[in-house]
Each structure stands twice: as structure tokens, then as C-alpha cells.
Amino acid sequence: MELTKIALSTVFFIIMLGLSTQHKHLMLALMCIEAMMLTLFMMLIIYTMTTLAVSHTPMPIILLTISVCGASVGLSLVVATTRTHGSDFLKNLNLL
């Protein structure tokens, strides 16, 4: 079980590194964030299985629901950006 926790933590930090170096496309940055959320979901599932606490049981479902809502908002942002600017390149956006 400890090897699984270490592997998931390593995957999470590698994805964070990928997100910090992602400066080209908005869609790739959103995919990194979704991968981070799925890794957190798996970590939370393992935590609730090992503690066997009844109060922690709905937490993974709540996290997954919030993740899906964030993904839908991100996808609508990509669609809106692509329609207005022609692509999802981050260097074409003037956010200030």
C-alpha cells in the first residue's frame, strides 16, 4: 500500500511539473489539471479505504463532482477562446 501512495504522490508532482512548464496550449494545461484531480481522487479513495471512517465516505464523490464541474467550465472556456481568437494558444491571449 505504501508503494501505491508513493507512486501516486510521484505522479501528482510530475503532473504539477508538467503544468508549470505548459505555456503553449490552454487545452493541455486543462488536461494536466484534470490528471491532477484524478490522482487526488485515487489518493482520497485509498485514504478512505485505509481509515474505514464513515464520515470520509462521500468525500471522493464530492471531489469527483467538483472536478467534473471544473472540466466543463474549462472546456467552455476553450471553446469560447477558440471562437474569439481562432486558436487556443496562450501567447495569443491578452489577459490584462
CATH of 2-92, one of 1.10.287.3510, 3.30.420.10, 3.50.50.60, 3.30.420.40: 1.10.287.3510
User: How many angstroms separate the Cα of 95 from the Cα of each of 32, 90, 92?
Assistant: 21, 10, 9
How far CA 4 is from CA of 20, 40, 44, 46, 70, in Å, comes to: 24, 13, 12, 9, 26
Q: Write down the pLDDT at residue 19.
A: 85
The mean pLDDT of 65-79, rounded to a whole number, is 89
Q: Please report which confidence band the pLDDT of residue 94 belongs to, taking 50, 70 and 90 as the band edges.
A: low
- In percent, how much of the chain has pLDDT > 70? 93
Which residues does 81 contact at the CB level (< 8 Å), separation at least 6? 26, 88, 93
- Residue 93's pLDDT band (cuts 50, 70, 90): low
pLDDT given at position 84? 81
CA distances from 66 to 29, 49, 62, 72, 73 (A): 18, 21, 6, 10, 11
Q: Which residues does 7 contact at the CB level (< 8 Å), separation at least 6? A: none
Q: Which whole number is the average pLDDT over 11-23?
A: 87
Domains of the chain, by residue range, sit at 2-92
pLDDT in tens, 43-60: 888 888 888 877 777 888
Cell 501567447 belongs to which residue? Answer: 91
